[in-house]
């Protein structure tokens, strides 16, 4: 009887671990835009339009590229902007708070 109880507990633990693993890796199974859309719809991150309002306060220009990524359990919008002087700027913005994390001029 003891062996059967230990086996059942072990099986339940493995099943629980599999569920946690699968839920933590859902992000990797979808494309970035699908992940972003789902997170915006659930209210977990700010929409890109709101992020761009913040970015344009310090860096105006033409948006060349936007990348959405997950880094160290944070969601980040990485935005490249071409300014009026033809300089390209890379900005990283926290997708949850809208806080500007990094500004770097590209070479």
pLDDT, position 10: 47
Percent of the chain having pLDDT more than 90? 53
pLDDT digits (tens, 9 = 90+) for 55-88: 999 899 999 999 999 988 899 999 999 999 999 9
Report, as an integer, the average pLDDT of 35-43.
88
Query: What pLDDT was estimated at residue 68?
Result: 93
The two structure tokens encoding residue 72: 């160290």
Average pLDDT over all residues of the chain? 80
Give yes or no for residue 46 having a pLDDT over 80.
Answer: yes
Full set of structural domains in the chain with CATH: 45-105 (3.10.450.40)
Kindly give, in sequence order, each residue whose CB lies less than 8 Å from that of residue 65, ignoring residues fewer than 6 positions away: 78, 79, 80
Please give the pLDDT value at position 33.
75
């Amino acid at each position: 009887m003891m062996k059967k109880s230990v086996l059942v507990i072990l099986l339940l633990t493995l099943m629980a671990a599999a569920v946690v693993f699968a839920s933590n890796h859902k992000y990797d199974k979808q494309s970035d835009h699908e992940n972003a859309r789902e997170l915006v719809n659930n209210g977990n991150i700010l929409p890109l339009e709101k992020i761009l309002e913040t970015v344009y306060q310090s860096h105006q220009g033409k948006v060349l590229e936007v990348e959405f990524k997950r880094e160290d359990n944070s969601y980040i919008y990485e935005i490249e902007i071409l300014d009026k002087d033809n300089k390209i700027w890379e900005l990283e913005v926290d997708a949850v708070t809208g806080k500007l994390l990094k500004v770097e001029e590209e070479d």
